[in-house]
Amino acid sequence: MSGLAHFFEKEGLATIIVALVREHVEQMRPPRSLWVPFELGRPFGEPGNATQHSRVLLGALTLLDGSGPGPILKDFNDEKSMTDTADNWQFPITLESDSVKSELRSLIPVWKKARRRHGRSTVGISGLSPEQAIEFIDRYHSAKPAPNPKGMSVVARARFAIDDIKALYLEAATAVGNPTSNQLQNWLWQQTIAGAMILKFQEKARTSENKNLQLIAGSLVPAERVISRC
């Protein structure tokens, strides 16, 4: 999208990028960008939250009033739009806390219940079982990393393993009740060992000498979740 923005601007059309991955717009330098601290796939925030959507849209449109040389990159930071409107929600059971593996074992029955409730699941794109995905990420930076099956690079496997872990946990959290997206994300990143593991992985990926690993680091965890956990 940043590349298209440059093209359209050359043709005389004003553009605004609503960006979810800050690193991308910092490198591509489109003329006007509003960085938003939401999870991937939701650039305007919480589904169904019209007030929040309006705040993001107005924040983006104000970039058209900016003066001076570009590129313009502004952060969207509106606490009013980040609050939940649903009733209090809690994960239906207390998960084991001895290790990330024991946490996963206690979560699996709840995930299966959620899968029956919704009749679908997005878990599996890594080609690993949930247990293998957890082990792959948990041991990725260790002296003895988990084996990587043929057919996918190590970095791609790590990216998709993390996607599977996030999907597994978030799907499990919908087994009972109707939590909001913000409640789900708060639970995953603030209250689970798996969330802490992924955050740790991301920090190591950011400083890795592997350029491909650096490239995926910015899209693993929403930026505001990194801040809230620290």
Residue range 115-162, pLDDT digits in tens = 999 999 999 999 999 999 999 999 999 999 999 999 999 999 999 999
Residue pLDDT, tens place only, 87-108: 678 999 999 999 999 999 999 9
First and final C-alpha spacing in the chain: 31
Report pLDDT for 6.
Answer: 85
Report pLDDT for 42.
Answer: 83
**Would the pLDDT of 86 be above 70?**
no
What average pLDDT does the chain have?
89
Percent of the chain with pLDDT over 70: 91
More confident residue, 85 or 53: 53
Average pLDDT over residues 62-84: 75
Report pLDDT for 208.
Answer: 94
Specify the pairing of strand 17-19 against strand 72-75: unpaired
Report pLDDT for 69.
Answer: 67
More confident residue, 225 or 23: 23
**Would the pLDDT of 179 be above 50?**
yes
More confident residue, 219 or 195: 195
Average pLDDT over residues 155-184: 93
pTM for the full model? 0.71
